[in-house]
């Protein structure tokens, strides 16, 4: 635990907002140093469009060896300077600091679990640490899917749900921007010669909101809207952004088709940009790994709460989307992701790391570290 907490403090003290490539690169340096010290060798450093990702391949190099992917990210949402108002602290069994819950503790757990596995002559583990998860993984998605392909399972070190609940489902995400082109005119002299983009925007917002279907968990939420230039001009341009969450691919496709079929009510031109981002992490992709996690927890004498389905997405959506069994929420127990009260409960870290290690061992079908083969 002393080593885990030391490593966690080092990472929290290196600020890594996703959009700042230099900060993410500095964070990657520290992750690489910690990993080299614990695992025994340096990672591959992969830079895509300026964003830094890290990869360790452990165990057998044989292509047919069973392999598990450990998936983490080292970027955070906290801007540079956040440590001044939210410093790292460890007090009364609680760790606080930017990114400690989402998801630096899970990252440190993954490093220590990988280091604890020892020699793997007939199996393999990949530890992939990406640098742009909080921005939607635009530069890392292909890498994630490449490393997940053919794996026995992908284990995602995102933070747990309340009370340590593992995550067996996540909604898929889609984002859209609807742009409206009208015609400007003087609002006082000749408004009738204009084509009011704001009026069209108001109409389309209502139409789009109607694409939601709460009965199947689909939310369609108009968010940012823009329109007009001056108070005395009929607005010629408008646009609005929309956040879509769905539990199934079928629902994502239904909503996408609805966006593509938008029709103007005023004669203004409508253009739709964006589309499906992360596919959903469907329960069918997690059930097998979830059962094995519960069995491992029983062997370790742990009590796991019921697993949950959440609206937020993670990189586990990508691994499940290509058909790889995936289990999410294996990281820290705590709360306050992205918020002032972000925190991690220290007392849960050892058991969670043991669960992660035992699950890797079970999935690979190898003897556990220091075991006589009891965990298979």
Q: What are the pLDDT digits (tens) for 295-334?
A: 999 999 999 999 999 999 999 999 999 999 999 999 999 9
301 touches 368 (CB < 8 A): no
272 forms beta bridges with: 178
Query: Residue 149 has which token pair?
Result: 């392909």
Overall average pLDDT of the 73-89 stretch: 98
**pLDDT above 90: percentage of residues in the chain:** 97
| Strand duo 237-246 + 219-227: pairing | antiparallel
- CA 115 vs CA 29, 37, 112, 263, 281: distances in Å: 18, 9, 5, 57, 28
- Classify domain 2-169+280-364 by CATH number: 3.40.630.10
> What pLDDT, in 10s, does the model give residues 268-296?
999 999 999 999 999 999 999 999 999 99
> What pLDDT, in 10s, does the model give residues 159-189?
999 999 999 999 999 999 999 999 999 999 9
Cα torsion angle, 318, 20, 331, 161, sign: negative
* Among candidate residues 362, 366, 310, the one with its CA nearest the CA of residue 159: 310
Q: What is the pLDDT of residue 369?
A: 56
* Cα–Cα distance measured from residue 76 to residue 141, given in angstroms and rounded to the nearest whole number: 17
| Sequence-ordered list of residues with C-beta below 8 angstroms from that of 130, at least 6 positions apart, any chain | 53, 71, 72, 73, 74, 75, 137, 140, 143, 144, 315
Name the pLDDT band for 236 (thresholds 50, 70, 90): very high
* Cα–Cα distance measured from residue 122 to residue 361, given in angstroms and rounded to the nearest whole number: 12
- Domain residue ranges of the chain, discontinuous segments joined by +: 2-169+280-364, 172-276
* Cα–Cα distance measured from residue 345 to residue 335, given in angstroms and rounded to the nearest whole number: 9
State the chain's maximal CA–CA distance in angstroms. Answer: 88
Overall average pLDDT of the 50-62 stretch: 97
Name the pLDDT band for 40 (thresholds 50, 70, 90): very high
- The pLDDT of residue 95 is above 70: yes
- The pLDDT of residue 345 is above 70: yes
- CA 281 vs CA 43, 140, 325: distances in Å: 28, 18, 10
Torsion of CA 254, 255, 259, 262, to 10 degrees: 70
pTM: 0.90
Which of residues 343 and 118 earns the better pLDDT score?
A: 343
Overall average pLDDT of the 130-152 stretch: 97
Give residue for tokens 């959009």. 19
303 touches 370 (CB < 8 A): no
Q: What is the pLDDT of residue 321?
A: 95
* Cα–Cα distance measured from residue 23 to residue 157, given in angstroms and rounded to the nearest whole number: 22
Name the pLDDT band for 371 (thresholds 50, 70, 90): very low
Name the pLDDT band for 73 (thresholds 50, 70, 90): very high
Q: Give the mean pLDDT of the chain.
A: 96
Burial class (CB in 10 A: 0-12, 13-18, 19+), 241: middle
- The pLDDT of residue 375 is above 50: no
- Classify domain 172-276 by CATH number: 3.30.70.360
Query: Residue 193 has which token pair?
Result: 């010669």
Please give the sequence-ordered ranges of beta strands (E in DSSP) within 112-170, or none if there are none.
Answer: 124-130, 153-156, 167-170
Q: What is the pLDDT of residue 367?
A: 67
Residue 306 DSSP label: P
| Strand duo 94-96 + 343-345: pairing | antiparallel
- The pLDDT of residue 370 is above 70: no
Cα torsion angle, 261, 266, 271, 277, sign: negative
Annotated active-site positions, please? 75, 133
> What pLDDT, in 10s, does the model give residues 97-126?
999 999 999 999 999 999 999 889 999 999
- The pLDDT of residue 19 is above 60: yes
Query: Residue 254 has which token pair?
Result: 């239904």
């Amino acid at each position: 635990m002393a080593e885990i907490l030391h490593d966690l403090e080092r990472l929290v003290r290196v600020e890594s907002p996703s959009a700042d490539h230099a900060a993410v690169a500095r964070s990657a340096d520290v992750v690489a140093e910690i990993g080299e010290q614990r695992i025994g060798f340096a990672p591959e450093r992969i830079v895509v469009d300026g964003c830094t990702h890290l990869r360790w391949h452990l165990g057998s190099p044989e292509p047919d060896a069973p392999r598990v992917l450990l998936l983490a990210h080292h970027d955070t949402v906290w801007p540079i300077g956040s440590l001044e108002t939210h410093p790292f602290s460890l007090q009364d069994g609680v760790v606080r600091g930017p990114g400690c819950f989402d998801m630096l503790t899970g990252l440190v757990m993954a490093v220590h679990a990988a280091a604890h596995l020892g020699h793997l002559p007939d199996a393999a583990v990949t530890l992939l640490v990406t640098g742009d998860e909080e921005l939607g993984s635009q530069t890392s998605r292909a890498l994630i899917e490449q490393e997940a392909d053919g794996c026995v399972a992908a284990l995602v070190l995102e933070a747990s749900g309340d009370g340590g609940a593992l995550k067996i489902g996540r909604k898929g995400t889609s984002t859209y921007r609807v742009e409206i082109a009208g015609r400007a005119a003087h609002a006082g002299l000749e408004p009738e010669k204009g084509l009011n983009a704001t009026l069209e925007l108001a109409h389309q917002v209502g139409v789009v909101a109607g694409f939601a279907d709460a009965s199947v968990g689909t939310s369609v939420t108009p968010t940012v809207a823009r329109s007009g230039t001056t108070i005395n001009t009929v607005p010629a341009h408008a646009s609005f952004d929309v956040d879509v969450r769905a539990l199934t691919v079928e629902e994502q496709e239904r909503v996408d088709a609805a966006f593509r079929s938008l029709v103007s009510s005023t004669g203004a031109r409508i253009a739709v940009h964006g589309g499906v981002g992360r596919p959903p992490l469907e329960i069918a992709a997690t059930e097998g790994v979830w059962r094995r996690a519960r069995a491992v927890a029983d062997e370790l004498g742990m009590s796991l709460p019921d697993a949950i389905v959440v609206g937020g997405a993670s990189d586990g959506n990508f691994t499940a989307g290509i058909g790889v069994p995936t289990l999410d929420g294996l990281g820290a127990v705590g709360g306050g992701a992205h918020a002032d009260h972000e925190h991690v409960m220290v007392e849960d870290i050892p058991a969670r790391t043991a669960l992660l290690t035992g699950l890797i061992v079970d999935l690979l079908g190898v003897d556990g570290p220091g075991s006589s083969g009891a965990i298979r």
